[in-house]
Each structure stands twice: as C-alpha cells, then as structure tokens.
Structure 1
C-alpha cells in the first residue's frame, strides 16, 4: 500500500469542482486526509484566482495507474485535453508524492512544484509537516518555514465540504 499526496486546484467554479474532485478521489481511494483550502493568484498567466488544497490517500495502484486515473477524473469534470499548461481549469489533479519514490516517468516525483509554489507547499506542510522531501532532505514544515512568503501570496478560505466526505 502506497501513501499518495494529491494537489487539487481550480479557478472555474472552483468550490464546485474541488468538491466534485474530492468525491471522485474518495470513491477510488476511500478515506482522505485533507488540508485547508487556500486561495491564490494565478501563476504563469493572467486569470482569476485559484483554490488549492492537498489530499492524502492510500492506494494499491501503481504510479502510472494513479496518473491515468487523475487524468480521467479531470476529463470527467470538464478539463479540456491538450489545453495550455498555464490556463484556467475546472479541475487540476497532480500527484505530488508516491511514498518516497523519486522518478521522471511516467511522471516527475517528487513534483517540482512542491518547492516552487506556495499553493502546493503550504497545504502539503499542513498535512505532512514532519514528512521529509526525498531530494531536499528537509521536512515540509522546514521547507515552508524557509519559503519566501512574499513570492506568492495565498490565504485560507472557508469551503463548503461535501457531506459525503464525513461518512
């Protein structure tokens, strides 16, 4: 059984698509551990603000199957295949960590955005503060403490959690 860390993001009907994404993840993985939800400005393009969070789950799927599942969930929730990397989106699911695996294929792990983007690092540090980044060799709490918080602003927001998540 592998522990996976998943980044969820949206800037199109964000409350709706984050909630639907969580329900889809729960349907496939069972119980999820969730960070707070954070709002941040779009990075890499001019667009409306994003909502972002991190979910933690356990799975018996291999990395390729997890990535394929995420792409299917995104498409089921209005994500356009082949859309530009830096563009608005209904739902973005990124595999951040798969245990302590380090690889480049079928996806880069650990995901580089962890140490670059506040909207990934802060919620990850919230759900896994003592977990150590397999390349940086620092805990996510330490990485967040050392992060330049003026580089990217984000703030926690209230979120209408789907009732089904509390089952």
Structure 2
C-alpha cells in the first residue's frame, strides 16, 4: 500500500463540499485520516475564505489511477479542469505526496504547495509531524517550525463528519 497525502480546499458552500470530498475519499480508503480544518484567506485573489485540510490515504492503485480517481471526485463536485488557478472553488484536491515518488510533471511530486502555503504545511505538521518529505529529508514539523511567511490561518471547530472516524 502506498501512502498519499492530499490537500483539500473549498470556499464555495465550504461545509457541504468538504463533507462530500471526505465521504468520497473514504470510498477510496475507509481508514483514511484527516487533519483539523483550517480557515484561510484566499491567496492571490479576493474572495470568501477557504476551508482547508489534509487527508492521508493508503492505496494499492498505481499513481496515475489514483490521481485520476481524485480528479474524478473534483469533477463530481463541479470542478472544471480549465478553471483559472486563482479563483473561488467548490473543491480543490491536490496530490501532495505519493509514497516516495519524486517527479516534475503529471503530477509534480512532492507538490511545491508544501513549501509555500501555511494552510498546507500546518495541517501536514499536525497529521504527520515526523514524516520526511520525499527527496528533501526534512520533516513536515521541521518545515512548519521554520515557516516564516505571514499567512493568516486559524483552526475551526471540528465538524461531526470528521469526528466519526
């Protein structure tokens, strides 16, 4: 089984779309784990605040089949593949790591968002603090402790759909 770490975000009907993503990801791995949900301001555009969290799944699927399954979840929730990068989203699910894979495209692994965004790194540091980033060697906790960008972020009360794990 290969561990996959995913970043999940929504700023349109946030509770509904995050809950639907959690349910769909549990179909891929009934034992998946989730971080707390964090609220964050949009980065790169004006709009409603996002809810963000991290999911850890284990899968026997090959990388491209798993990636396609994740993209299918997005599509089922109205995500258009041609949408501009910085805009409101019903759901955005990004593959951050897939086992020890390191590659530059289709998808890029590990994903650079790990290094750039508090809404990705803080929940990763909580969910998998001692895990080393493939090809880097530093842990998520080490990166979070050294993170120096000012990005407002705060945890929200855990919704019931994450409590029934």
Pair in the same fold by TM > 0.5: yes
Give the corresponding residue for 2:25: 25
- State the 1:166 CA deviation: 2.7
- In the alignment, the residues of structure 2 paired with residue 12 and residue 161 of structure 1 have an alpha-carbon distance, to the nearest angstrom, of 19
Give the corresponding residue for 1:162: 161
Q: Secondary structure at the match of 2:160?
A: coil
TM-score (norm 1): 0.93
Give the corresponding residue for 1:8: 8
- In the alignment, the residues of structure 2 paired with residue 137 and residue 45 of structure 1 have an alpha-carbon distance, to the nearest angstrom, of 32
Give the corresponding residue for 2:82: 82
Give the corresponding residue for 1:52: 52
Give the corresponding residue for 2:146: 146
Q: Deviations over 1:54-87 (max 9, x none)?
A: 0101001111111111111011012123111111
Q: Secondary structure at the match of 1:54?
A: strand
Identify unmatched segments of 5+ residues in structure 2: none
Give the corresponding residue for 2:124: 124
Q: How many residues align?
A: 165
- In the alignment, the residues of structure 2 paired with residue 3 and residue 72 of structure 1 have an alpha-carbon distance, to the nearest angstrom, of 19
- In the alignment, the residues of structure 1 paired with residue 2 and residue 28 of structure 2 have an alpha-carbon distance, to the nearest angstrom, of 14
Whether the 8 Å CA contact 1:45–1:87 is kept in 2: the answer is yes
Identify unmatched segments of 5+ residues in structure 1: none
- State the 1:132 CA deviation: 0.8
TM-score (norm 2): 0.94
- State the 1:134 CA deviation: 2.2
Give the corresponding residue for 1:95: 95
- In the alignment, the residues of structure 1 paired with residue 160 and residue 124 of structure 2 have an alpha-carbon distance, to the nearest angstrom, of 19
- In the alignment, the residues of structure 1 paired with residue 114 and residue 82 of structure 2 have an alpha-carbon distance, to the nearest angstrom, of 23
Q: Secondary structure at the match of 1:53?
A: strand
Superposition RMSD in Å: 1.4
